[in-house]
A and B are shown apart, each in its own frame.
Chain A
Amino acid sequence: MLNLDFGFLTAEVLSAYVLKGFLFSVQLTFVAMLGGIVLGTLLALMRLSGHAWLMMPAAAYVNTMRSIPLVMVILWFFLLIPLLTGRPLGAEMSALITFTLFEAAYYSEIMRAGIQSIPRGQIAAGYALGMTYAQTMRLVVLPQAFRNMLPVLLTQTIILFQDTSLVYAIGAYDLLKGFELVGKNFNRPVETYLVAALIYFVISFSLSTLVKRLQARISIIR
């Protein structure tokens, strides 16, 4: 049979190889989520602005990003930036920027739906109180859109967390890379990939469960 042996995966081994990668995966997820939501919200506002010169570039950006596989964006960004700037960026930094730019396209679609879900009367009420467009968006529309969309935003973030494993393409040191190194050094790739899969599963599944609970709570408050 498979003859599996997990004995070599001690706490020392894990903290020596895997911890660093895990922390980077988490960092990458958070940076891309926060940066992606901020940038995505700006893109969404541009697309809903009604001004062609704001709508068209935003739509082009979102549609382009959504039409290219993430792994290619990761690769191209990693390869192109040194060509353009003359110096390499480093795999980790390159991954942080790429993921932020890429995820912004997906978050922007979520925020766009969220903004459109707010009744027009709310905007009118903001204006009627003397608020400017920016104030109405910041104080009235976006907080509600964000809250309505929170479960979807978090679900996207779980997908993002899984996708961080794609940085293997440029050799960045993430969670998966940590396991891969352990597997190579101990010549136990099957066991390490199994454990890696289990870790991804446990993290993603518990987060989804949390999102479901959160969803139920939000819907009660409304």
Chain B
Amino acid sequence: MIEIRNVSKWYGQFQVLTDCSTKIEKGEVVVVCGPSGSGKSTLIKCVNGLESFQQGEVIVNGISVGDAKTNLPKLRAHVGMVFQHFELFPHLTITENLEIGQVKVLGRSRDEARERGLKLLDRVGLRSQADKYPGQLSGGQQQRVAIARALAMDPICMLFDEPTSALDPEMINEVLDVMVELATEGMTMMVVTHEMGFARKVAHRVIFMDQGRIIEDAAKEDFFGTPRSERAQLFLSKILGH
């Protein structure tokens, strides 16, 4: 489904990604973790072309993301993305947020889009908020709407870029619950997160990054059992320690 081959990226002289390679199969849930500045957010943004890269290849569903001839909007329409800061459109109601991509990008009718949107809103438990504006919702609620907005496009896979990092602790679980449900339903997911509880529960694999490199790429059991690299062990002991 997603294949990242030897991707390297520089900001000017500074190399942010170094020779990153991994593969995510259909239905797989892969958690990407690592200290801040390790390049994990940059890597996930390379998958749908929000970040460009200078070397290597990213193939999503058989299409090369880095190829200048690729129709990126068309590709992105079917790759859902959830952001750290939700990025709901503040000038639109929740319903309109759910409709806009379906209508303007997929060409669905407004009625069809509304129906699909409300169904998903139901699913994330926010049907009653349909006519409100994003600013009237809590962070956790906004993020659940953002997940619903991505799902409304019928994505072939979902990318999560630190979806709970900007949330108050008491709101993290409501978002993780939705993600766990998605994972158990077989959605292909790439998730940048520090939530190791989530990783333990539903991830198939865990990727550990540091200084722009993929240091570990292991099955969940192996990663939490015996991470090979010292750096990953140190990282784990720090975030699992409390």
Contact = CB atoms under 8 A, between A and B. Distances in A.
A131 B48 contact: no
Contacts of A135: 104-105
Interface string A115-141: 000010110110111111001000110
Looking at B76, B81, B91, which has the most chain A CB atoms within 10 Å of its CB?
Answer: B91
A213 interface: no
A90 interface: no
A222 B135 contact: yes
B69 interface: no
A144 interface: yes
A127 B73 contact: yes
Contact of A222 (B74, B81, B90, B104): B90
Interface string A135-158: 100011001100100000000000
B77 A130 contact: yes
A144 B83 contact: no
A128 B81 contact: yes
Contact of A122 (B45, B76, B78, B89): B89
B220 interface: no
A126 B110 CA distance: 18
A129 B76 contact: yes
A129 B135 contact: no
Nearest to B84: A121
A4 B70 CA distance: 77
Contacts of B227: none
Contacts of A131: 73, 101, 104-105
A125 B50 CA distance: 10
Given A140-B89, A147-B91, A121 B101 contact: no
Interface in A3-33: none
A124 B105 CA distance: 15
Contact of A125 (B79, B89, B91, B106): B89
A122 B105 contact: no
Contact of B48 (A119, A122, A128, A222): A128
A119 B75 CA distance: 23
A148 B103 CA distance: 25
Contacts of A143: 91
Contacts of A121: 83, 85, 87
Interface of A: 119, 121-122, 124-125, 127-132, 135, 139-140, 143-144, 147, 221-222
10 contacts: A119-B85, A125-B88, A125-B89, A127-B50, A129-B76, A129-B101, A131-B101, A132-B73, A139-B104, A144-B89
Interface of B: 45, 48, 50, 72-81, 83, 85, 87-91, 100-101, 104-106, 133, 135, 149-150, 153
